[in-house]
């Protein structure tokens, strides 16, 4: 009897130990299925250890950066319609033609449609870190949301791109595809500043960047925005510096500033010739100095719009410098710079026709 009791006791202990091990193993396995990363809001976000479905929301340039970082559109199942408009009219669609097939229906009239988003079954969503309202939508739906910041590095486009690459590295691991572009951007920035820093204000043009200009709205890009970095680094003075971010303006304000140069972003459907040829009904651009002297330019469109940070950022800086300080940077041949850059970093051989397409983006690239 004692032997039987001993055997049953041993079996009970063995069963209990085995059961405990199974529970521990199950907990460990569940824990291993997720991991914690810190996003640009400083928030700890629990994301799946294995990510297979990604949606990119309000951080508009990130879709193109993601494609360059990963070397494909793989796992990207949703992107913002504004990002799609840029993609369809950019060189990104030539390098990654499948990008145009990615779903963008989860944003309707500028608003997240959570029912459409859930249909995409995202493992994670990337969004602009300052957009708390959007983050709340994702969190209420139980979707891990990672914030990417545009302000972390004070709107320095080179360093903001580096911030994004660093966070993508935390999420996906280092692919080795993007770190060289960061180094290139820093080198270009240093070379340009080395010359620009020797100028005084009297040698710098007064510059207006029209961020958004359509039939109902005209906004200038001010300080605390990428315009501050671009203009200051490339050798100009921002006439709209008193605005924080964007400021709504009218023609009277433009006449008062009377800028030496005007640049129009690809968030606007307006083209340079609209101003230069005075085509816009109800306005008279012929009175503005920049128009009189033919110094109105549309930002080019390469892998993405050439205003926010993107993988083309080193090229943007050189292009702006050659426009704002043509004598100082007359040694820069932009056609050659673009061709060499695309060959080096994207393994693409651009033709002269391709270059002209980059310089002459379509109105549709604005998404309006």
Q: What is the pLDDT of residues 308-364, one digit of tens each?
A: 999 999 999 999 999 999 999 999 999 999 999 999 999 899 999 999 999 999 999
Annotate 127-163 with DSSP letters as a single string: EETT-HHHHHHHHHTT--EEEE-SSTTTT-HHHHHHH
pLDDT in tens, 145-170: 999 999 999 999 999 999 999 999 99
Q: Is 217 helix (H, G, I), strand (E, B) or coil?
A: coil
Residue 13 has pLDDT above 60, yes or no: no
Residue 110 has pLDDT above 50, yes or no: yes
Share of the chain above pLDDT 70, in %: 91
Residue 29 has pLDDT above 50, yes or no: no
Residue 223 · residue 254 · CB < 8 Å:
no
Task: At 316, give phi and psi (nearest 5°).
Answer: -60, -45
User: What whole-number distance in Å separates Cα of residue 134 and Cα of residue 119?
Assistant: 17
Look at residue 18 in the predicted model and tell me its pLDDT: 47
Residue 176 has pLDDT above 90, yes or no: no
User: What whole-number distance in Å separates Cα of residue 70 and Cα of residue 100?
Assistant: 17
Angle CA(150)–CA(58)–CA(366) in degrees, nearest 5?
A: 95
Predicted TM-score (pTM) of this structure:
0.87
Of 83, 86, 110, which Cα lies nearest the Cα of 266? Answer: 86
pLDDT in tens, 179-198: 888 999 999 999 999 999 99
User: What whole-number distance in Å separates Cα of residue 364 and Cα of residue 368?
Assistant: 7
Residue 28 has pLDDT above 50, yes or no: no
Residue 23 has pLDDT above 90, yes or no: no
Strand partners, 78: 55, 103
């Amino acid at each position: 009897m004692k032997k039987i009791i001993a055997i049953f006791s041993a079996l009970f202990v063995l069963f209990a130990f085995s059961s405990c091990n199974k529970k521990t193993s199950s907990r460990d396995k569940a824990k291993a299925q997720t991991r914690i990363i810190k996003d640009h809001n400083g928030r700890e976000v629990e994301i799946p250890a294995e990510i297979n479905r990604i949606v990119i929301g309000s951080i508009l340039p990130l879709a193109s950066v993601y494609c360059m970082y990963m070397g494909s559109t793989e796992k990207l199942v949703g992107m913002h319609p504004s990002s799609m408009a840029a993609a369809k009219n950019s060189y990104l669609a030539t390098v990654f033609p499948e990008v145009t097939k990615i779903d963008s229906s989860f944003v309707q009239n500028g608003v997240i449609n959570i029912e459409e988003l859930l249909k995409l079954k995202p493992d994670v969503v990337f969004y602009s870190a300052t957009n708390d309202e959007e983050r709340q939508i994702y969190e209420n739906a139980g979707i891990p949301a990672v914030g990417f910041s545009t302000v972390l590095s004070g709107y320095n486009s080179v360093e903001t791109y580096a911030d994004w690459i660093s966070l993508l590295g935390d999420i996906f691991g280092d692919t080795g595809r993007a770190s060289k572009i960061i180094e290139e951007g820093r080198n270009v920035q240093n070379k340009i500043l080395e010359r620009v820093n020797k100028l005084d204000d009297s040698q710098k043009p007064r510059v207006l960047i029209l961020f958004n200009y359509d039939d109902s709205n005209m906004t200038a890009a001010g300080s605390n925005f990428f315009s501050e970095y671009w203009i200051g680094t490339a050798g100009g003075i921002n006439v709209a510096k008193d605005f924080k971010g964007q400021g709504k303006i009218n023609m009277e304000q433009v006449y008062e500033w009377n800028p030496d140069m005007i640049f129009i972003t690809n968030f606007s459907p307006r083209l340079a010739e609209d101003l230069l040829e005075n085509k816009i009904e109800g306005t008279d651009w012929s009175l503005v100095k920049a128009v009189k002297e033919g110094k109105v330019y549309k930002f080019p469109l390469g892998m993405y719009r050439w205003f926010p940070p993107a993988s083309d950022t080193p090229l943007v800086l050189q292009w702006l410098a050659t426009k704002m300080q043509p004598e100082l940077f007359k040694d820069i041949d932009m056609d050659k710079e673009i061709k060499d850059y695309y060959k080096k970093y994207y393994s693409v051989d651009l033709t002269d026709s391709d270059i002209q397409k980059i310089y002459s983006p379509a109105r549709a690239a604005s998404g309006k």
